[in-house]
Structure 1
């Protein structure tokens, strides 16, 4: 593609990469002014911004990580910044008469989509240092939780292969049980350590009641005495996976405390804690994941969270509504499953759950309906900073 540098670009699109980006500038009529590679360095990005001209809207396909420097330099130059979500960009590329996928094509697709369909863009809100720190802590917490989940699932798989009866007796959410498995290993390691040491480890970890620890000891002793051979790798894997799950749990708890401390005194966070069923974890996720100024109504926020129904209509042959499978999955799960604590309560949301069940809804569907109803309140509270009041 011939490169022609002209002033007065309306849009400057970046198909961002780790070491370099592809920058494509188009004017108001959609004509390409230039399309070239730009190193992921401040000086090179600044030159592309200057060549595009003051006031050009910068559009990126990734606003974090590898795209963060582009966003920062565009902000410093006074350019407005927008984000074209990856799924929107992929669908837009399918409308272009090209079969290849190259950085040059992707950059032009972003630029032409921004010029021709500006409603597909998402404004990139400015972020204060405090908000950026909070977002990074929340992302690290999600990483720790995901790592813990993988370790626990693998631990269960190892125990299940060795002895299903012992696996069913283990509760990986219990801190003291993870401590026992991390220090002593599987059933053979527990029996070899003896009852006294087993109880010492369980009680030192905290939270182990004698009746509960006796049940785990009995299950381990029965498994080790069942006549099955002891696998050499079993105890080693159990120790490693239990230790990893325990460490990830401690890291997630530490990050939760840091997030709560960072949000202390935050108006929206404090107001959200007054909503029934919203605890520190859900409130922190809402504050870090949702910029309420970007949504014109609670309906838009519901669509973002994946709580809005997906309507399908075509002539007279198709007219249906089904649950959405999209949206921000992390936020969606938090909003839905935090409603579990509302079941059986006498507040408006608990009564709404009862009415949904009375109409024949299953439990999970009723929880989602309650989450959608509660989201209207959450949106208003985040928008106005006003605590919740029943009725």
Structure 2
């Protein structure tokens, strides 16, 4: 990357962001300190610092966090026309390890941010004016991820409790059946095995026929499984019924909330051309497509499919030392959210897309285990995604390409 002075900057403002206050370090292109000091986390104080920096000429403001506590400094910089960038925390820490001294203070960190930007401008991620729609999608997607984690925790807790009280009942609720609307409503009404026994088969059957329009076979299977065990374990009773009711209610509400978020994300992203194009690819749903669009921002940020795959962490990392060590290891870097979305999309694609399934089976035939074959498919689909978004052509079943990775 070009040196910052060749881009027209006359000084660099490194900002170590904090919850209540930041520390700013202003330096010229030779690394000479022009000013430094603490800055309150409010607009007026930040404007004062930027005005002071602009007195020296065109300034590049650099923060070490672009989200949460770093959002306000970036927003004020954009409002004042000050160019801004983010220095990833790992890059900063690596630079700090190569610098003399071991002091760790806000002032030292601000200086290191400015010095790292001057000596290693390639580590900077330049931030333009944010798109409110993309920012909203990122917030919704992050909230949906939190709810998905909550959902897994609640389901695991309910499954463990049912397995303790009545293993036969838990076996009927294998897979996603335990979080189905039918199971949740039934458990909300009667609780666990104790409550179902107390109500009796006839009452439960009548309630199911009156209140449930679908999923009528699951209650019958649950009642049949209930009869397989006549002994009640010590924990089974009124209190565990209450816990099961509460868990079932929270699972149902979380599931409904995630569906509302999914609809809202689709509504926000529906006017984005890249979103509509990616949605045509087998295996790409609303959530995975939103993760793709918000991660890459624009396909024009990537010169080719290899760069997209590298950004997602789907390219193998070469390990070589002399002639004794030479192998390709799995890449643990990249954008983790994008990598996860592409991996999940690949796992769905092998079910819905014959071409993806054939590629997956070929990799399994080469000796790769399930995860390796899915990652290879996700890497291959990076080429497909890049081609579709770059040329603005929706996916068609006859897509064949020179999309096999080299």
Q: TM-score, normalised by structure 1?
A: 0.89
Q: What is the DSSP-based 3-state SS (H/G/I as helix, E as strand, rest coil) of the residue aligned with 1:319?
A: strand
Identify the residue that residue 5 of structure 2 maps to in structure 1.
none
Structure 1 residues 352 and 233, CA gap change in structure 2 (3 angstroms): same
Do the aligned partners of 1:175 and 1:205 also contact (CA within 8 Å) in 2?
A: no
Verify: 1:285 aligned to 2:291, yes or no.
yes
Which residue in 2 is equivalent to 1:4?
none
8 Å CA contact 1:310–1:321 kept in 2: the answer is yes
Shift in Å, 1:385: 3.0
**CA drift at 1:280:** 2.6
Determine whether 1:273 maps to 2:289.
no
Gaps of 5+ in 1: 1-7
- Aligned equivalent of 1:33: 34
Q: Does 1:226 align with 2:231?
A: yes
Provide closer, same or farther for how the CA distance between residues 314 and 35 of structure 1 changes in structure 2, counting only shifts above 3 A.
Answer: farther
Please name the residue that 1:369 is paired with: 376
Q: Does residue 191 of structure 1 match 2:191?
A: no
1:55 and 1:78 in contact (8 A); partners too: no
Closer, same or farther in 2 for the Cα pair 1:244/1:315, shift >3 Å? same
Whether the aligned pair in 2 keeps the contact of 1:340 and 1:367 (CA below 8 Å) is yes
| Mapping 1:310-389, distance limit 5 Å | 310-343=317-350, 347-389=354-396
> Which residue of structure 1 lines up, in the alignment, with residue 49 of structure 2?
48
Q: 2:247 aligns with which of 236, 241, 252?
A: 241
Question: Shift of residue 309 of structure 1?
Answer: 0.9
1:189-212 CA distances to partner (integer Å, 9 max, x unpaired)?
A: 2222332443455563553223x2
Equivalences, count: 382
> Which residue in 1 is equivalent to 2:309?
302
Partner SS for 1:97: coil
Is residue 95 of structure 2 the alignment partner of residue 89 of structure 1? Answer: no
Task: State the match for 2:75 in structure 1.
Answer: 72
Counting only pairs closer than 5 Å after superposition, residues 79-118 of structure 1 correspond to structure 2 as: 79-118=82-121
Q: What whole-Å deviation, never above 9, does each CA across 1:133-175 have from its counterpart, x for those lacking one?
A: 2222222222222221222122223333434443333232322
Q: Specify the alignment match of 1:22 in structure 2.
A: 23
Aligned-pair distance for 1:257? 0.7
TM-score normalised according to structure 2 size: 0.86
Asked if the contact 2:279–2:289 (Cα under 8 Å) also holds between the matched residues in 1, the reply is yes
1:245-302 Cα distance to aligned partner (Å, 9 max, x none):
2111100001101111222232111111222322333222212222234333322322
Change (3 A) 1:343 1:96: same
Q: Aligned partners of 1:340 and 1:44: how far apart in 2?
A: 50
Instruction: Tell me whether 1:255 sits opposite 2:258 in the alignment.
Output: no
CA RMSD of aligned residues (A): 2.3
- Note if 1:174 corresponds to 2:180: yes
Q: Which residue of 1 aligns with 2:6?
A: none
Match in the other structure for 2:219: 213
For residue 3 of structure 1, what is the aligned residue in structure 2?
none
CA contact (8 A) 2:15 2:22 kept: yes
Q: Measure the CA separation in 2 of the matches of 1:50 and 1:270.
A: 42
SS of the equivalent of 1:59 reads strand
Q: Alpha carbons of 1:258 and 1:98: their partners in 2 closer, same or farther (altered >3 Å)?
A: same
Give ranges in structure 2 of 5+ residues lacking alignment: 1-8, 401-406
Residue of structure 1 in register with 2:142 after alignment:
139
